[in-house]
Amino acid sequence: MLRASPRSTDIEMNDAHLHLITNHIPVLGLPFALALLLWGLFRRQKEVRSAAFLGFFLVALASFPAFLSGHEAEEVVEHMAGVREGLIEDHEEAAEIAFYVTEALGLFALLCLFLGRGGREIRGGILAAFLLLAVASSGLMARTAFLGGPIHHSEIEGGRD
């Protein structure tokens, strides 16, 4: 539970804090892995592409704590002054879609890793489908973050209802 005192070092972590820490991993990790994959394709470096696929898989794994801590974070903030239920619901719905698309991407990345280990080159339709899913996942995660920000950050709300 959060315990405020005159000294900022006396603050204990709660579920909302855990959610805020972990949700940055997929939001930042997906575009980073996508950039790495594009770099590997541009430079024709299989090792870089493999690292990108591994990155996508790891981001999918790291998305679990962010997703699972969301409900508990809601319990912490939903009764605070200025927090509107509509903002939480919009964020929650977006998070669910983004999470499942990211998990599908992670499984697809794992498949690409295994195919690549067998000496097969990932290209053509499979690569195009992967890139499309990676862009969609990144966009959905960015939208989720955008919708989540104003829940308890009135300084960025900007008149959204």
The residue whose two tokens read 């698309």 is: 101
Locate 86 and state its tokens. 């509509």
Q: Who wins on pLDDT, 37 or 15?
A: 37
Q: Which pLDDT score is estimated for 10?
A: 58
Sign (positive/negative) of CA torsion 33, 94, 67, 10?
A: positive
| Statement: residue 119 has pLDDT above 80 | no
d(CA 19, CA 87): 16
Residue 93: its pLDDT value, please? 92
Asked whether 32 and 76 are in contact (CB, 8 A), the reply is: no
pLDDT digits (tens, 9 = 90+) for 28-67: 999 999 999 999 999 999 999 999 999 999 999 999 999 9
Structure tokens at 160: 């959204």
